[in-house]
């Protein structure tokens, strides 16, 4: 949690966060799986050359962030009877041009020709603005803006939950699923990380990738019950823009600009500090790959973002498997893209 600014207290549960010049309301532009049958998709001539342009436009004056389940991959050179490791690569390469976000170098087709789905979540937040109206901190009036067509993103659910293996969304709300919401996790238990799966998220031991049980704090942003979001608020701080639209309410948690953390200078299970964040929360994603030789077999690990301890993050093991006929040096590739972090202390009392 930041140490300066205006302390905002949620009148319903007593949680608080610091509102300062960096606080900007984010909008969830896209929350869905993407494949070659998704609007905006364009198939390339070769695997890994597919492209997708988000059909939902980024609001004017906003910058985008993209979060995906699979951020990186390993590339092998194939011979007659074996494959040798060549390099690591980014699996999600995205760019913003005005109001358009495009993701390139995607693989949208499975080996049998069926659609291959990639979970894509696009956030957008306003660049710092100045003005003469609204609540000013550091001459910033980020909440005195028009509500984007995609809407601002507010907390729909918060939970402290013991997860045994796979997350069961119905324990929180049966209307939730992996594709219709954005979930940030923070572990209470050392070594426990949440990793992306086919239909949900799985709790793993970051030391070996084995499934385990652990307690997590979850903050979920979605459009569920969005229409009546402010109806029960009778007290607390509200901010409105020049049109009279509510853009902030202290009784409803808002997704503010996440902190971007670059992790490519760190290895497997190394502690990654997060400056200015008391209790880091993360979006599950495979952000690194590790390959090495185990006897005559190649062995690969998928490494996912998780908590190292209560105040830092890491990339830990989510799964490992042998690859017969594969060879190469001991090699780890970590994404060069930033990962997105929130502070659990802004949403829970510790």
Q: Which residues 6+ apart lie within 8 Å of 234 measured at CB?
A: none
The pLDDT, as a whole number, for residue 309 is 94
The pLDDT, as a whole number, for residue 77 is 93
DSSP 19-55: E-TT--B-EEEEEEEE-TTSTTEE--SSTT-EEEE-S
- Is the distance from CB of 284 to CB of 196 less than 8 angstroms? yes
The pLDDT, as a whole number, for residue 241 is 61
pLDDT tens for each residue of the chain, 350 residues long: 455 666 666 666 666 666 666 666 677 889 888 999 999 999 988 877 899 999 999 877 788 889 888 899 999 999 888 899 999 999 888 999 999 999 998 888 887 888 888 889 998 887 655 444 445 555 555 555 555 555 556 778 889 999 999 999 999 999 998 888 899 999 998 899 999 987 889 999 999 999 999 999 999 988 776 555 555 555 556 666 666 666 666 556 666 668 899 999 999 999 999 988 999 999 999 999 999 999 889 999 999 999 999 999 999 999 999 988 999 999 999 999 999 999 998 888 87
DSSP type of residue 189: S
Of residues 336, 335, 350, the one with CA closest to residue 280: 350
Task: Report the C-alpha gap between 98 and 62 in whole angstroms.
Answer: 9
The pLDDT, as a whole number, for residue 17 is 60
Residue with tokens 């918060």: 158
- Is the distance from CB of 97 to CB of 71 less than 8 angstroms? no
DSSP 122-151: EEEEEPP---SSS--BTTB-TTSSPPPTT-
The terminus-to-terminus CA distance of the chain in angstroms comes to 12
Q: Three-state DSSP class for 171?
A: helix
- Is the distance from CB of 59 to CB of 148 less than 8 angstroms? yes
DSSP type of residue 271: -
Residue with tokens 């119905």: 170
Model-level pTM? 0.83
Of residues 166, 212, 220, 170, the one with CA closest to residue 191: 212
Q: State residue 170 phi and psi, 5-degree precision.
A: -65, -20
Alpha carbon of 225 to those of 140, 247, 339: distances in Å?
30, 16, 28
The pLDDT, as a whole number, for residue 245 is 64
- Sign of torsion, CA 301 306 310 313? positive
Q: State residue 346 phi and psi, 5-degree precision.
A: -80, -15
The pLDDT, as a whole number, for residue 133 is 45
Task: Report the C-alpha gap between 292 and 59 in whole angstroms.
Answer: 45
Task: Report the C-alpha gap between 334 and 266 in whole angstroms.
Answer: 8
């Amino acid at each position: 949690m930041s140490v300066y600014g205006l302390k905002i207290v949620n009148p319903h549960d007593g949680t608080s966060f610091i509102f300062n010049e960096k606080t900007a309301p984010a909008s969830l532009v896209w929350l869905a799986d993407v494949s070659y049958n998704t609007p905006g998709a364009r198939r390339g001539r070769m695997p890994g050359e597919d492209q997708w342009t988000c059909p939902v436009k980024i609001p004017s004056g906003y910058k985008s962030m993209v979060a995906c389940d699979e951020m990186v991959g390993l590339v092998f050179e194939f011979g007659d009877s074996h494959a040798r490791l060549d390099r690591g690569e980014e699996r999600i390469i995205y760019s913003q041009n005005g109001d358009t976000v495009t993701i390139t170098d995607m693989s949208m087709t499975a080996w049998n020709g069926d659609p291959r789905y990639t979970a894509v979540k696009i956030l957008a937040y306003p660049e710092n603005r100045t003005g003469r109206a609204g609540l000013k901190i550091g001459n910033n009036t980020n909440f005195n803006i028009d509500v984007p067509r995609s809407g601002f993103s507010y907390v729909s659910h918060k939970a402290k939950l013991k997860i045994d293996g796979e997350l069961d969304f119905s324990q929180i709300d049966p209307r939730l699923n992996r594709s219709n919401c954005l979930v940030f996790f923070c572990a209470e238990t050392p070594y426990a990380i949440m990793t992306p799966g086919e239909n949900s998220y799985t709790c793993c031991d970051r030391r070996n990738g084995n499934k385990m049980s652990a307690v997590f704090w979850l903050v979920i942003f979605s459009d569920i019950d969005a229409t009546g979001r402010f109806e029960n608020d009778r007290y607390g701080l509200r901010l409105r823009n020049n049109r009279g639209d509510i853009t902030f309410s202290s009784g409803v948690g808002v997704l503010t600009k996440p902190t971007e953390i670059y992790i490519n200078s760190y290895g497997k299970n190394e502690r990654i500090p997060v400056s200015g964040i008391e209790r880091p929360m993360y979006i599950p994603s495979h952000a690194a790959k590790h390959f090495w030789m185990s006897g005559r077999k190649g062995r690969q690990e998928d490494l996912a973002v998780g908590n190292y301890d209560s105040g830092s993050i890491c990339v830990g093991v989510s799964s490992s498997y042998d690859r017969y006929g594969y060879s190469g040096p001991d090699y780890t590739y970590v994404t060069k893209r930033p990962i997105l972090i929130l502070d659990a202390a802004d949403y829970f009392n510790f």
